[in-house]
Amino acid sequence: MRNAGVDPVAHNRAAWDTYVQEGNEWSTPVSAEEVGRARAGDWSIVLVGHEPVDRSWLPADLTGKDVLCLASGGGQQAPILAAAGARVTTFDNSPGQLGQDRLVAERDGLELRTVLGDMSDLSAFGDATFDVVFHPVSNLFVPDVTVVWRECFRVLRPGGTLLAGFLNPDTYLFDHEALDERGELIVVHKLPYSDVTCYSAEERAAKFGADAALEYSHSLTDQIGGQLAAGFAVTGFAEAPHQSNASAAYFSNYFATLAVKPG
């Protein structure tokens, strides 16, 4: 196994701090106008791709609801939910991403708590702390997603909901350069895929850049079956194409689930 000693938490923390500095699209804060509309009840947030999440997946009235935005920093979803009336905590591995949430909160007078940490370890929170966990596409950055689902189940109150977005694992089958540069779908990888096991550090630097975040594919057994094994009842499912990847013309790159912790 190549690079088995790599620490994905430390590596990806540094990577996402760099992405923030570079102006990554998932690190661009919402505008004051969007926050103002959210305060008036006119709002939407993204769970997968660029498509707004189905509003019926969230409580009709967010006022006073305790919401955990899990691995969801960047100044986008959490400020909108806070403006809509929720008591929001953002938990993210990147100080830079958390800083974007604080920037919006300070700019627009929002109450919003930020906590630094790895999505696989929610020990900062007690059992049954939240009504909603909002978890957009981010578990590709952890080696084991099943522990994430167990932690989500633990911190949710009975009857609470988990909204999760994740990558279709088939996205990782294809040669990165052929797809990005020529729009060609050439199968080169077996699943499960991992940047760490498929490439040496030198190969990763050449293909993606030395500071790129480490990514891991997860089977649908671990993504959906993992939620079921943690105790959730999956009550909603959606698909979406990638916003820019050429493979979007052929299959859905993103999946989203709505899951409920039984009361």
pLDDT at 69: 99
Taking phi over 0 as left and psi of -120 to 50 as alpha, with beta for the rest, 166 belongs to beta
pTM here?
Answer: 0.96
**259: closest CA among 235, 240, 238, 230?**
235
Return the exposure string of 75-109: e unless at least 16 CB atoms fall within 10 Å of the residue's CB, then b.
Answer: bbbbbbbbbbbbbbbbbbbbebbbbbbbebbeebe
pLDDT of residue 236: 98
At residue 1, the pLDDT reads 41
In the prediction, which pLDDT does 177 show?
A: 87
Distance CA 163, CA 147 (A): 16
**Spans of the chain below 70 pLDDT:** 1-4
> How far apart are alpha carbons 76 and 26 in whole angstroms?
8
